[in-house]
C-alpha cells in the first residue's frame, strides 16, 4: 500500500472513530445525525483505501441513510429503560470489549500476505452477490423486506391511534 492510500486510511479512520464518539456525546439530534454522516464518510474512505470501491459507495449510501433517518423529523424519543448505574456498567463493558478486540487485533499480525491491487470491482462483486452467493443476498433481501414492512406497519398503527 502506498503512502497516499495509507494517509487516506488513517485520516478516514480518525474521522470515523471521532464521529462515532461524537454520536455518544452530542445532545442535539441533528448534530448526532451530522456526526453519523461523518462516520459514513470515514467508513467509505476506509473501504476506498482498502481497494473496496463498490463497498465504499454502498456504505456511503447506507450509513448516510442511517444518518438521515436518525436526524429526520420522523424520529421520536422513547422513554429511558435503564438507570445511571446500568449505563455506567455498559460503558465499562464497551471498554472491556475494546480491550479484548484490540488484543485480538494485536495477535493478528501473523498475516503477511500482499494485496493484488485493484479497482472498484463492481462487476466481480456483483457476480459474487448475484451468482456465487445468491442465497445470502436473497436472505438479506428478505430481512430488508421484513424490516421495511415492520416499519411501515408500526407507522400505520401509530397514525391510526392519533
Partner 1 sequence: MNVTLVSVLFVAAALVAAGAFVASWRRDLGHGLAGIPLMFAGAGTAFAGVSRFAAVPAGGAQLLGQEVAVLLSVVALAAVALGVGLAGREGPR
Question: Is there binding between residue 39 and partner 1 (CB under 8 A)?
Answer: yes
Name the DSSP class of 28: S
**Binding-site member from 85, 131, 135, 162 for partner 1 (CB under 8 A):** 162
Distance CA 152, CA 162 (A): 16
User: How many residues sit in the footprint of partner 1 (CB under 8 A)?
Assistant: 88
Site pattern 3..32 for partner 1 (x: CB under 8 A):
x-xxx-xx--x--xx--xx-xx-------x
Q: Between vectors from CA 119 to CA 2 and to CA 36, what angle results, nearest 5°?
A: 80
Is residue 108 a contact point for partner 1 (CB under 8 A)?
yes
- Identify whether the C-beta of residue 64 lies closer than 8 Å to the C-beta of residue 40: yes
Q: In angstroms, what is the minimal distance from the CB of 72 to partner 1? A: 8
Q: Is 138 in the site for partner 1 (CB under 8 A)?
A: no
User: Does 130 help bind partner 1 (rule: CB under 8 A)?
Assistant: no
- Binding of residue 41 to partner 1 (CB under 8 A): no
User: Is residue 148 within 8 Å of 69, Cβ to Cβ?
Assistant: no
Instruction: Determine how many CB atoms are found less than 10 A away from the CB of residue 65.
Output: 11
Regarding 116 and contact with partner 1 (CB under 8 A), the answer is yes
Q: How far is the CB of 160 from partner 1 (least distance, A)?
A: 10
Instruction: Name all contacts of 23-26 with Cβ < 8 Å and 24+ positions apart.
Output: none
Residues between 69 and 98 with contacts to partner 1, criterion CB under 8 A = 69-70, 72, 74-81, 86-87, 89-91, 93-95, 97-98
| 34 near partner 1 (CB under 8 A) | no
| Length of the chain counted residue by residue | 162
- For the bound state, the minimum distance from the C-beta of residue 23 to partner 1, rounded and expressed in Å, comes to 5
Residue 38 touching partner 1 (CB under 8 A): no
Environment class of residue 28 by beta-carbon count within 10 Å: exposed (0-12), middle (13-18) or buried (19+)? Answer: exposed
Amino acid at each position: 500500500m502506498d503512502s497516499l492510500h495509507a494517509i487516506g486510511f488513517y485520516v478516514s479512520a480518525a474521522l470515523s472513530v471521532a464521529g462515532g464518539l461524537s454520536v455518544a456525546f452530542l445532545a442535539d439530534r441533528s448534530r448526532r445525525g451530522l456526526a453519523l454522516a461523518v462516520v459514513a464518510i470515514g467508513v467509505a474512505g476506509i473501504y476506498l483505501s482498502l481497494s473496496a470501491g463498490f463497498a465504499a459507495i454502498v456504505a456511503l449510501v447506507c450509513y448516510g441513510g442511517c444518518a438521515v433517518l436518525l436526524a429526520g423529523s420522523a424520529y421520536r424519543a422513547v422513554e429511558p429503560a435503564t438507570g445511571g448505574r446500568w449505563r455506567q456498567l455498559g460503558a465499562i463493558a464497551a471498554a472491556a470489549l475494546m480491550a479484548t478486540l484490540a488484543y485480538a487485533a494485536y495477535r493478528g499480525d501473523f498475516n503477511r500476505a500482499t494485496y493484488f491491487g485493484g479497482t472498484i470491482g463492481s462487476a466481480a462483486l456483483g457476480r459474487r452477490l448475484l451468482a456465487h452467493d445468491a442465497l445470502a443476498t436473497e436472505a438479506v433481501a428478505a430481512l430488508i423486506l421484513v424490516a421495511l414492512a415492520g416499519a411501515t406497519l408500526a407507522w400505520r398503527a401509530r397514525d391510526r391511534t392519533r
